[in-house]
A and B are shown apart, each in its own frame.
Chain A
Amino acid sequence: MYTRRDSLPVRMVRRSLSIRYRLPLLICGLLLVVAIASSWAVYIEVRRAALLAARERLANVTRQLSDLLRASGRQMTAQARALAAHPSVVRDLRSPGRQARLPALAALDSAARRVEAIVAIELWAADGIRRLRTERPAPPFEPETARELFNTLGDADSAIVGPYRLVGDSLYYSLTARVLDQGEMLGYVVQHRRITGSSESARQLRELIGSGAALFVGNQRGDLWTDLARPAPPPPVAVSGRGDSLLQYEREAGVWELASAAPIPGTAWMVLTEFPRAPVLAGARRVAWRIVFVTLGLLVLGSAGAWALSRSLTRPLADVAAAAEAIAGGDYAKRMELDRGDELGQLASAFNTMAASVQDSVGKLRAAADRYRRLFESNPNPMWVYDLQSLWFLAVNDAAVVHYGYSPDEFLTMTLKDIRPPAEVPALLENVARPTGTIERAGTWVHRKKDGTLIDVEISSHELEFDGRNARLVLAHDVTDRRRAEEEIRRLNAELEQRVVQRTAELRASEEQFRSLAVTANDAIITGDAHGCVTYVNPGAERSFGYSAAELLGNPLTLLMPERFQEAHRRGLARYLATGEARVVGRTVELSGRRKDGTEFPVELSLASWSRGGEPSFAAIIRDITTRKETDAAIRRSASELEAANKELEAFSYSVSHDLRAPLRGLDGFAQALLEDYTQVLDETGQDYLQRVRAASQRMAALIDDLLDLSRVTRAELRREPVDLSALARGIAADLHKSAPKRKVEFVIPEDVSAHGDRRLLRVVLENLLGNAWKFTAKRSGAAIEFGVTDHDGERVYFVRDNGAGFDMTYADKLFAPFQRLHAPADFEGTGIGLATVQRIVHRHGGRVWAEAGVNRGATISFTLNATPEGRA
Chain B
Amino acid sequence: MTVKDKTILLVEDNPDDQALTLRALKKNNITNEVIVASDGVEALDYLFGTGRHAGRDTRDLPALVLLDLKLPKVDGLEVLRRVRGDPRTRLLPIVILTSSKEDRDLVNGYSLGANSYVRKPVDFTEFMEAVRQLGLYWLLLNEPPPPGTASAK
Q: Say yes or no: A654 contacts B125, CB within 8 Å.
A: no
Q: Say yes or no: B20 contacts A657, CB within 8 Å.
A: no
Q: Is the interface of A mostly helix, strand, loop or mixed?
A: helix
Answer yes or no: B108 CB below 8 A from chain A CBs.
Answer: no
Q: Say yes or no: A657 contacts B99, CB within 8 Å.
A: yes
Chain B min CB distance to A488 (Å): 71
Chain B residues 23 to 61 lying within 8 A of chain A, measured CB to CB, are: 23
Q: Say yes or no: B14 contacts A662, CB within 8 Å.
A: yes
Contact residues in B for A700 (Cβ distance below 8 Å): 122
Contact residues in B for A698 (Cβ distance below 8 Å): 122-123
Q: Which of A661, A663, A672 contacts B124 (CB 8 A)?
A: A672
Contact residues in B for A668 (Cβ distance below 8 Å): 122-124
What per-residue 1/0 map shows which CB atoms of B125-136 lie under 8 Å from chain A?
A: 101000000000
Contact residues in B for A664 (Cβ distance below 8 Å): 122
- Among residues of B, the one whose C-beta sits closest to the C-beta of A705 is B101
Answer yes or no: B86 CB below 8 A from chain A CBs.
Answer: no
Q: In the assembly, what is the distance between CA of A672 and CA of B124, in Å?
A: 7
Q: Say yes or no: B122 contacts A697, CB within 8 Å.
A: yes
* Number of chain B interface residues as a range: 20 to 34
Contact residues in A for B16 (Cβ distance below 8 Å): 662-663, 665-666, 669-670
- Among residues of B, the one whose C-beta sits closest to the C-beta of A675 is B124
Q: Say yes or no: A658 contacts B69, CB within 8 Å.
A: yes
Q: Which of B100, B122, B124, B127 contacts A658 (CB 8 A)?
A: B100
Answer yes or no: A735 CB below 8 A from chain B CBs.
Answer: no
Q: Say yes or no: B125 contacts A672, CB within 8 Å.
A: yes
Contact residues in A for B70 (Cβ distance below 8 Å): 658-659
Q: Say yes or no: A661 contacts B99, CB within 8 Å.
A: yes
Answer yes or no: B120 CB below 8 A from chain A CBs.
Answer: yes
- Among residues of A, the one whose C-beta sits closest to the C-beta of B123 is A698
Answer yes or no: A673 CB below 8 A from chain B CBs.
Answer: yes
- Among residues of B, the one whose C-beta sits closest to the C-beta of A662 is B14
Answer yes or no: A292 CB below 8 A from chain B CBs.
Answer: no
Q: Say yes or no: B122 contacts A657, CB within 8 Å.
A: no
Q: Say yes or no: B20 contacts A665, CB within 8 Å.
A: yes
Answer yes or no: A701 CB below 8 A from chain B CBs.
Answer: yes
Contact residues in A for B98 (Cβ distance below 8 Å): 658
What per-residue 1/0 map shows which CB atoms of A673-709 lie under 8 Å from chain B?
A: 1000000000000000000001001101100000000
Known: A658-B69, A670-B16. A665 touches B122 (CB 8 A): yes
- Among residues of A, the one whose C-beta sits closest to the C-beta of B70 is A658
Answer yes or no: B102 CB below 8 A from chain A CBs.
Answer: yes
Q: Say yes or no: A662 contacts B99, CB within 8 Å.
A: yes
Chain A min CB distance to B139 (Å): 22
Q: Say yes or no: B20 contacts A669, CB within 8 Å.
A: yes
Q: In the assembly, what is the distance between CA of A671 and CA of B122, in Å?
A: 12
Q: In the assembly, what is the distance between CA of A371 and CA of B101, in Å?
A: 91
Chain B min CB distance to A651 (Å): 11
Q: Say yes or no: A661 contacts B102, CB within 8 Å.
A: no
- Among residues of B, the one whose C-beta sits closest to the C-beta of A660 is B99
Contact residues in A for B103 (Cβ distance below 8 Å): 712
Which among A659, A662, A666 has the greatest number of chain B C-beta atoms within 10 A? A662
Chain B residues 109 to 153 lying within 8 A of chain A, measured CB to CB, are: 120-125, 127
> Which residues on A are within 8 Å of B, measured CB to CB?
654, 657-659, 661-666, 668-673, 694, 697-698, 700-701, 712
Q: List 30 A-B contacts (CB under 8 A).
A: A657-B100, A657-B102, A658-B70, A658-B98, A658-B99, A659-B70, A659-B99, A661-B122, A662-B14, A662-B16, A662-B99, A663-B16, A664-B122, A665-B17, A665-B20, A665-B122, A665-B124, A666-B14, A666-B16, A666-B17, A666-B20, A669-B16, A669-B20, A669-B23, A671-B124, A672-B124, A697-B122, A698-B123, A701-B122, A701-B123
Question: Apart from A662-B14, A665-B124, what are 8 other A-B pairs with CB-CB below 8 Å?
Answer: A661-B99, A661-B122, A665-B17, A665-B99, A665-B121, A669-B124, A673-B124, A697-B122
